[in-house]
A = this chain, B = another copy of it.
């Protein structure tokens, strides 16, 4: 069971090591008959070239690194599905770095990644500092960021259009006649949440509605806090109580719905709730959640494609010009209409706000 080497294959097929190597690398300069023969010998002996030796000799690996903030997020899992789909058929394997604690994030970056183990890096960014990545990128390592990203970072990226998604969510609510729409925020240090909140505000304003600060609640993606803040919302006097809630995530929406139920409010009869993400259970809960779907799988695919393109065709790596184009892909979201949003309750429908919307 001793591992076979290229030398063994050479001996077994009666050619030199060089020739074996050439067939390994699909060189056109090998006689077709020779190649077939060598290939057959390799197959018969279940020969697999040593990964390490190949990497050393070539100076590059068929490995791309993927840095994620834990796998338990629906987002990360979905992105990975997309990434895996494209890396799979490109012969690349992915090595996974779970950057759990911020502490060693920096060292992770320059420890492992400088060891030239990886020919490219996919980062599902988080709250981590981005400078080390910028550094790496300008040193010539292909890097692409997925999901949250600060607009001013000079790195290729693919994100979802959170602003537009929020606009769409709000339009849905607005068209159902809602005017007092609350917003339960996510983690506001995230760019994506900031964008969603801007969308909330802008949608309101362009409908001629002055945002009521009292209807904005922090949630920080913490179920406890979300429930507490939602309770405040639902404890408001009937004429001030929101008739709809825009939650910054589906799980946030669940907690809002729980609070609603505790307050004796029915969804969607008494209060409409819209989420963001479209996680798997969104269709399964009662009532099925209306939400904004983020195209995570596609985002993963596109990101992987961008990265592979940047890595280039194995050989002609243009060391000198690190592809100064920094593509930013912003992917559209979609409104998934299920049952958690309904028309504004009739008993309260036309209320005396200072302005009237131009919408139905």
Contact = CB atoms under 8 A, between A and B. Distances in A.
Interface string A37-52: 0000000001011111
A85 interface: yes
Interface in A82-123: 84-85, 88, 93-98, 100, 110-112, 114-117
A50 B71 CA distance: 28
Nearest to A52: B55
Contacts of A283: 223
A109 B139 CA distance: 34
Interface stretch (A148-156, A252-260, A308-316): A252-260
Interface string A73-89: 11011101100110010
- Copy number in the complex reads 2
A80 B88 contact: no
A251 B284 contact: yes
B51 A116 contact: yes
A162 to B, nearest CB: 22
A76 B116 CA distance: 29
A94 B95 contact: yes
Nearest to A286: B261
A116 B251 CA distance: 42
A275 to B, nearest CB: 11
Nearest to A58: B52
Contacts of A72: 74, 77-78, 81, 280
A267 to B, nearest CB: 9
A251 B95 contact: no
Interface in A23-59: 46, 48-53, 55-56
Interface in A237-295: 251, 254-255, 257-258, 261, 279-281, 283-286, 288
Contacts of A81: 70-72, 98, 100
A169 B71 CA distance: 28
Given A55-B52, A76-B71, A284 B116 contact: no
B77 A110 contact: no
A284 B255 contact: yes
A346 interface: no
Contacts of A199: none
Interface of A: 1, 3, 46, 48-53, 55-56, 61, 63, 66, 70-74, 76-78, 80-81, 84-85, 88, 93-98, 100, 110-112, 114-117, 139-140, 223, 251, 254-255, 257-258, 261, 279-281, 283-286, 288
29 contacts: A1-B140, A3-B114, A46-B110, A46-B114, A48-B110, A48-B112, A48-B114, A48-B115, A49-B115, A51-B115, A52-B116, A53-B56, A55-B56, A63-B95, A66-B96, A70-B77, A71-B81, A94-B95, A94-B96, A95-B95, A95-B96, A251-B281, A251-B284, A254-B284, A258-B284, A258-B286, A281-B281, A285-B285, A285-B286
